Each structure stands twice: as structure tokens, then as C-alpha cells.
């Protein structure tokens, strides 16, 4: 029986996406092929315990919510993730997936909301963007840019316009926590009248930059 390497399972408020503020179960899978400059989950690169899908479902059953987010690291780096997503949907959960965008999303169950992170130059991982994923995005999915500075903002704005991303799905612009003044990003968006949603990581505002929230 195939197993997943799980770094942590925890219950918190969703801090990002259109589900922000909702009580959510997070399943953080171990491993990631990328090394973003602003990564806040390096602890998930290697550490974790092996779970079958049934063991994972049992572990989350104690929480009284149907909202589940699969995150990482990069969850799609583990092939069994696709089966986990399907089984969660089959079990009646509302499932979202946070992916860094370097791995194809073609095999993901259509019931899953995909949060696709397009890597900016400031991340150091721009070269790994799999642009073909944009053709697979569904209207209910979301496309996220994590902005490190003004150059990143201009790059993201140009990608938004060139690819007509706001016609594909909701687009999120998020400042790197502690590196860029959120007020600056908000004012750039308003000045340029961009059709995007500005977001701040709610969980970090509440608890700071710690694990398990």
C-alpha cells in the first residue's frame, strides 16, 4: 500500500486565498524540488511520518470542518497526493491544493480548488514555472503571485496582462511577510487599477511566523 510522507496535520484558520478566515484542516506533505528565497516552510523539506490515505483520513476526522487544504513543501512532488485529493473529495471534503507551479496539475481531481503560485524573479525559482499549467486552470481556481519588491510587482503585472490571467481565474497578489510594506503593494495595485485581490497572510498577523498555524 502506497504511503504519503506527512510533515504535519493541524487545524487553523485559512490565512490565504478566497477561503481566508475559514476554520481549515491543513495536511502538509514533506518535500519540495524548489528553494524559494522567502520560503517559510523549510522544515518540511525532509521531516515527516509515513501515513496511508486511510490513516490520513482517520487523523483529520476529529476536526469539525469539511475544509481541507493540502500544502507543503510541494505536495505534488509525492505521486500519492493525487489519490489523496480524490479520496478527500469522495469523502465530502471541500479541498484546496497549494502548489508551486513547477509540476503539472493535469491529473488533479476537477473537484479540487487549485491555488497555483507563479514564481516571480525575486523567488529565485522563476525558471521552474510550468506555464502550460495556465491552460489547465479552472474558473474556480486561483493564481497567486508572491511579491518581494517593486521589480517583482512589475513582472507580475506584465504577466497578468500578457496572459489575461484575470479572465482565467481569481488572481492574488501577496507581499512577502516582513520583506515588503503591504501598504506599498496595496497602493501600486490601486494606482495601476489591477483586477487582482490583495491579500496578507492572516495567520502570520495573528500568530507570527511559527509552525502549525
Q: Is the pLDDT of residue 212 over 80?
A: no
- State which fold the 4-207 domain adopts: TIM Barrel (3.20.20)
Q: State the DSSP code for 93.
A: -
Instruction: Return the pLDDT at 40.
Output: 85
Instruction: Return the pLDDT at 213.
Output: 77
Q: State the DSSP code for 7.
A: E
Instruction: Return the pLDDT at 98.
Output: 97
Q: What is the mean pLDDT of residues 122-143?
A: 96
pLDDT tens, position by position, 3-17: 999 999 999 999 999
Residue 107, helix vs strand vs coil:
coil
Tell whether the torsion through CA atoms of 8, 9, 11 and 12 is positive or negative: positive
Instruction: Return the pLDDT at 127.
Output: 96
Confidence of residue 111 (pLDDT cuts 50, 70, 90): very high
Q: What's the pTM?
A: 0.94
From 125, 123, 86, select the one nearest 102 (Cα to Cα): 125
Pairing of strands 23-29, 49-51: unpaired
Angle between helices 182-192 and 150-163 (to 10 degrees): 40
pLDDT tens, position by position, 135-188: 999 999 999 999 999 999 999 999 999 999 999 999 999 999 988 999 999 999
Instruction: Return the pLDDT at 35.
Output: 93
pLDDT tens, position by position, 18-77: 999 999 999 999 999 999 999 888 899 999 999 999 999 999 999 999 999 999 999 999
Q: 162-169 long-range CB contacts below 8 Å, 24 or more apart?
A: 163/134, 165/134, 166/195, 166/196, 168/134, 168/137, 168/139, 168/141, 168/143, 169/137, 169/138, 169/139, 169/140, 169/141, 169/142, 169/143
Instruction: Pull the grid cell for residue 13.
Output: 484558520
Instruction: Return the pLDDT at 93.
Output: 98
Contact 183, 207 (CB under 8 A): no
CB atoms within 10 A of CB 49: 13
Q: In degrees rounded to 5, what are phi and psi of residue 20?
A: -55, 135
Instruction: Return the pLDDT at 82.
Output: 96
**CB proximity list for 208: less than 8 A, separation 6 or greater:** none
Instruction: Return the pLDDT at 205.
Output: 86
Instruction: Pull the grid cell for residue 188.
Output: 501600486
Greater confidence (197 vs 209) lies with 197
Instruction: Pull the grid cell for residue 9.
Output: 496535520
Q: Domain coordinates of the chain in residue numbers?
A: 4-207
Greater confidence (189 vs 213) lies with 189
Q: Is the pLDDT of residue 208 over 90?
A: no
Amino acid at each position: 500500500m502506497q504511503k504519503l510522507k506527512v510533515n504535519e496535520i493541524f487545524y487553523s484558520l485559512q490565512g490565504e486565498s478566497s477561503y481566508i478566515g475559514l476554520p481549515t484542516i491543513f495536511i502538509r506533505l514533506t518535500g519540495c524540488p524548489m528553494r524559494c528565497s522567502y520560503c517559510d516552510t523549510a522544515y518540511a523539506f525532509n521531516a515527516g511520518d509515513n501515513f496511508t490515505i486511510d490513516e490520513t483520513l482517520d487523523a483529520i476526522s476529529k476536526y469539525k470542518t469539511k475544509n481541507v487544504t493540502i500544502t507543503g513543501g510541494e505536495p505534488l512532488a509525492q505521486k500519492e497526493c493525487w489519490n489523496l485529493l480524490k479520496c478527500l473529495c469522495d469523502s465530502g471534503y471541500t479541498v484546496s491544493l497549494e502548489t508551486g507551479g513547477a509540476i503539472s496539475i493535469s491529473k488533479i481531481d476537477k473537484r479540487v480548488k487549485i491555488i497555483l503560485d507563479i514564481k516571480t524573479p525575486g523567488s529565485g525559482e522563476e525558471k521552474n514555472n510550468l506555464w502550460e499549467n495556465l491552460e489547465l486552470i479552472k474558473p474556480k481556481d486561483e493564481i497567486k503571485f508572491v511579491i518581494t519588491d517593486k521589480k517583482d510587482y512589475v513582472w507580475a503585472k506584465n504577466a497578468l496582462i500578457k496572459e489575461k490571467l484575470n479572465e482565467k481565474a481569481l488572481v492574488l497578489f501577496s507581499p512577502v511577510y516582513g520583506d515588503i510594506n503591504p501598504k506599498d503593494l496595496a497602493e501600486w495595485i490601486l494606482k495601476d487599477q489591477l483586477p487582482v485581490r490583495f491579500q496578507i497572510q492572516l495567520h502570520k498577523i495573528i500568530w507570527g511566523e511559527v509552525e502549525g498555524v
